[in-house]
Amino acid sequence: MNVLVTGGSGFIGANLVRLLLAERPGWRIVNLDKLTYAGNPENLADLAENPRYRFVRADICNGELVADLFRTERIDGVMHLAAESHVDRSILAPSVFIETNVRGSQVLLEAAREFGVKRFLHVSTDEVYGSLGPTGLFTEETPVAPSSPYSASKAASDLLALAYAHTFRVPVVVTRCSNNYGPYQFPEKLIPLMIANAVRDLPLPVYGDGMNVRDWIHVEDHCRGLLAAFEDGKDGEVYNFGASSERHNIHIVKQVLDLVGKPHSLVQYVKDRPGHDRRYAIDSRKAQAKLGWAPRRRFEDALAETVRWYVERRAWWERIISGEYLRYYEKQYGARR
């Protein structure tokens, strides 16, 4: 089986490529990644000599190249993760989100239609459902109502993927997962950003009142879900993944400070994110019943392990917290203090 993974040099992609190579010895993985600011070849550098792995640096929007890759690599299945993934960046500069997340996804769907694949897994997010009040959970039946340019671009690509399933019989499965954490996450996202700041005694910028809720899942649990959906999902269906770990942001930020051994006085409340979704919480009973999947990691243990990973790999994140990232950080947080 020749599987094309897009975005394999990013956070979830890197974890997924490792899982697939370990769990499916008969598979060959082609990783198509543009290496944007978020893509880090170091994440998979140790695979360079692995005959079951090939890295191709390219843009998913390049239709000719994508078609050529499907042809020459005889791609049987696609796991599509490449995306612009950060909400705050989508507020600062939305265009590239439309280009990569919507147009890039359509380029891949078109290639899948032309060359035929056994499965096209479109990896999406619970953010397409919008924001919840204090109660209730997102199910696969919840109407999409995205609020940020990021989530709107993901909802658009989800709908395109489902339209390709319906109209052209491309064997699409869409997955929608809650907030991930774990190794290799770019330190612009809540948990690694707070760890990196705590380690350096920098202020921890909490948006608004810190009472927004996210539903956290360890990246390994998500990746096992993606493999299950790829193999056992039904064409044209949507599956939600989550680990029933709802937490207020401020609670997590204080937990990170405790784990790093730094005082809570490092918390700095800053101006809220425009259009900030209040609460996400996901019902993953369909995936559990139909895919035989269940989350394994407990939030408190896995958070402690994640904090250790970042503390021990300071060189990994210090190398990427430079140049472009510093300019972004100043733009994002400079005016908020």
The secondary structure element, H or E, covering residue 57 is: strand 53-57
Query: How many CA atoms does the CB half-sphere of 273 hold within 13 Å?
Result: 22
Residue of 59, 126, 215, 283 marked active site: 126
Say whether residue 189 binds ligand TYD (CB under 6 A).
Answer: yes
The token pair that represents 309 in the structure block: 């990973």
Is the Cβ of residue 252 or residue 287 nearer to ligand TYD in the bound state? 252
Indicate whether 18 belongs to the interface with ligand NAD (CB under 6 A): no
Smallest gap from residue 100 Cβ to ligand TYD (A): 16
Examine the residue annotation and report whether 150 is marked as an active-site residue of this protein: yes
Question: Do 124 and 157 touch, CB atoms closer than 8 A?
Answer: yes
CB of 167 to ligand NAD, least distance (A): 22
Catalytic residue among 33, 59, 127, 283: 127
81 binds ligand TYD (CB under 6 A): no
Q: Which stretch binds ligand TYD (CB under 6 A): 3-11, 70-78, 204-212, 300-308?
A: 204-212
Q: What is the DSSP string of 2-18?
A: EEEEETTTSHHHHHHHH
Q: Is 212 in the site for ligand TYD (CB under 6 A)?
A: yes
Examine the residue annotation and report whether 232 is marked as an active-site residue of this protein. Answer: no
83/226 with CB nearer ligand TYD: 83
179 counts as binding ligand TYD under rule CB under 6 A = yes
| Torsion angle defined by CA atoms of residues 230, 235, 236 and 242, in that order, rounded to the nearest 10 degrees | -30
User: What is the helix, strand, coil percentage profile of the chain, to 5?
Assistant: 45, 20, 35
**Alpha carbon distance 40, 44 (integer Å):** 8
Pick the closer one to ligand NAD by CB: 181 or 205.
181
- Kindly write out the interface string for residues 51-70 of this chain, putting x where it contacts ligand NAD by CB under 6 A and - elsewhere: --------xxx---------
Strands laid side by side in the 213-218 sheet: 179-181, 213-218, 246-248
243 contacts ligand TYD (rule: CB under 6 A): no
Work out the angle between the directed axes of helices 149-168 and 105-115 (0-180°, nearest 10): 20
Q: Which stretch binds ligand NAD (CB under 6 A): 28-36, 223-231, 293-301, 328-336?
A: 28-36
Return the residue of 206, 238, 291, 302 that touches ligand TYD, per CB under 6 A. 206
CB-closest chain residue to ligand NAD: 10
Taking CB under 6 A as the criterion, which residues in 102-131 touch ligand TYD?
Answer: 127
Residue 126 annotated among the catalytic residues of the structure: yes
Q: Of 195, 188, 197, which is closest to residue 327 (Cα–Cα)?
A: 188
Find the binding residues for ligand NAD in span 101-140 (CB under 6 A).
104, 123, 125
**Residues 6+ positions from 233 with CB-CB distance below 8 Å:** 119, 121, 173, 175, 239, 290, 291
Select the binding partner of residue 87 from ligand TYD, ligand NAD, none (C-beta < 5 to 8 A, by kind): ligand TYD
Q: Does 214 bind ligand TYD (CB under 6 A)?
A: yes
- Distance between CA 222 and CA 227 in Å, rounded? 9
Tell me which residue has tokens 């649990």. 221
Tokens found for residue 302? 């896995």
* 83, HSE (Cβ side, Cα atoms, 13 Å): 28
Q: How far is the CB of 11 from ligand NAD (least distance, A)?
A: 4
Cβ-contact 226, 175 below 8 angstroms: yes
- Classify 260 as helix, strand or coil: helix
Binding stretches for ligand TYD (CB under 6 A): 87, 127, 179, 189-190, 193, 205-207, 212, 214, 249, 273
The residues of the shown chain that bind ligand NAD, judged by CB under 6 A, are: 6-7, 9-13, 33-36, 38-39, 59-61, 81-85, 100, 104, 123, 125, 154, 177, 179-180, 186
Active site residues per annotation: 126-127, 150
